[in-house]
Structure 1
Amino acid sequence: MKDKFLRFERFTSGLAMGGACLMLVVASLLGLFQIITRFVLEQPAEWSEILIRLALIWMVFLGIPTAFRQGAMVSVDVLYRMTRGHARRLLDWLVAIAAMVLVLVILWWGWDYAVRGRVQSMAGLESISMFWGYLALPVGALFSILGVIGNLIDPVREELETAQ
């Protein structure tokens, strides 16, 4: 059961990170397009700036699950170095609970914002609902839940282990 969950979690975290990388590429290409249209062609495309922001928001919220999975999001290095055995495992649980509370708040309010924002359109992109911008929060939170649980089951502390 543990191995199946960890395989599923690795797949979903990889999928989220792939999406984050894709959003970085989209934002970069749109930024290049914006520079060319504004400074070379002297015909700025206002819509590209809004899409860059949207891509960066999605990039961040799709990248967060990997940070949680690697234990890089909530770092308590000093306490980990000072503890061993059961105390370290208790610290793992406390960090996981704190992270889970944060993620659940983001999930709850992110979904609420997305639902409320569906009637609102993006400035400069009237055909696109704000729902798609706000949806990054609950989607990232869902992936993050898996990352937090994955890190609790199979903790990764590469930074800590190489620093000692």
Structure 2
Amino acid sequence: MKAAFLRFERFASELAMAGACLMLAVASTLGLYQIITRFVIEKPAEWTEVLIRFSLIWMVFLGIPAAFRAGAMVSVDVLYRWSPPAFKRVLDWVVCLAALLLVAVILWWGWDYAQRGKVQTMSGLESLSMFWAYLAMPVGALFSVFGIVGNLLDPQRLELETAQ
């Protein structure tokens, strides 16, 4: 069961990271296109600003699960280093539960926010609903759940191990 979950978690984390990388590529390409149209052609494409913002939001929320998986988001380094081995596992559980609580709030309110954003349209792209931009919050939170639990089951603390 643990091995199956960790395989699924690895797949989900890699999928989220691939999406984050894709969104970074989209934002960079659109930024270059915007510079060319604004300063070379002198006919700016206003729609690119909205899509750059949209892709950066998705990039961040799809990149967060990888940080949770690496144990880099909620870090209590000093307390962890000074703790006996038995307390380290308790600390792992406390951090996991706190992170899951935070992610649950983001998931719940992110979905609510996305639902409310259905009636809004993106300025510059009137045909695209804000639902798709706001959906990044619950999607990123859902992927984060797998990363948090994966880090609890198979901790990744390379920065702690090399710093000692």
Gaps of 5+ in 2: none
Quick one: distance in 2 between partners of 1:149 and 1:84?
Answer: 22
Tell me, which stretches of 5 or more residues in structure 1 are unaligned? none
Q: In structure 2, what is the Cα distance between the partners aligned to 1:83 and 1:56?
A: 38
SS state at 2:127 partner: strand
- Counterpart in the other structure of 1:91: 91
The residue type paired with residue 4 of structure 2 is K
* 1:84 Cα deviation after fit: 2.5
Q: Determine whether 1:112 maps to 2:112.
A: yes
- The CA deviation at 1:86 is 1.3
In the alignment, the residues of structure 2 paired with residue 79 and residue 14 of structure 1 have an alpha-carbon distance, to the nearest angstrom, of: 30
- Residue 99 of structure 2 aligns to which amino acid in structure 1? A
Aligned mates of 1:76, 1:44 — CA distance in 2: 47
Give the aligned length. 164
How does 1:1-164 map onto structure 2 within 5 Å?
Answer: 1-164=1-164
Percent identity reads: 73
The whole-number CA distance in structure 2 between the counterparts of 1:84 and 1:92 is 12
- Deviating beyond 2 angstroms after TM superposition, the runs of 4 or more aligned structure 1 residues are none
**TM-score under structure 1 normalisation?**
0.99
Deviation string 1:33-87 (CA, Å, 9 cap, x unpaired) is: 0000000000000000000000000000000000000000011110111012110
Q: Distance in 2 between matches of 1:80 and 1:19?
A: 32
In the alignment, the residues of structure 2 paired with residue 113 and residue 124 of structure 1 have an alpha-carbon distance, to the nearest angstrom, of: 21
Q: TM-score, length-normalised on structure 2? A: 0.99
Task: State the alpha-carbon separation in 2 of the partners of residues 123 and 104 from structure 1.
Answer: 30
3-state SS, counterpart of residue 43 of structure 1: coil
**Cα drift, residue 119 of structure 1:** 1.0
Question: What is the root-mean-square deviation in Å for CA atoms of aligned residues?
Answer: 0.5
Output one character per residue of 1:81-126: Cα deviation in whole Å (capped at 9) or x when no partner: 1012110001001111110011000000000000010111011110
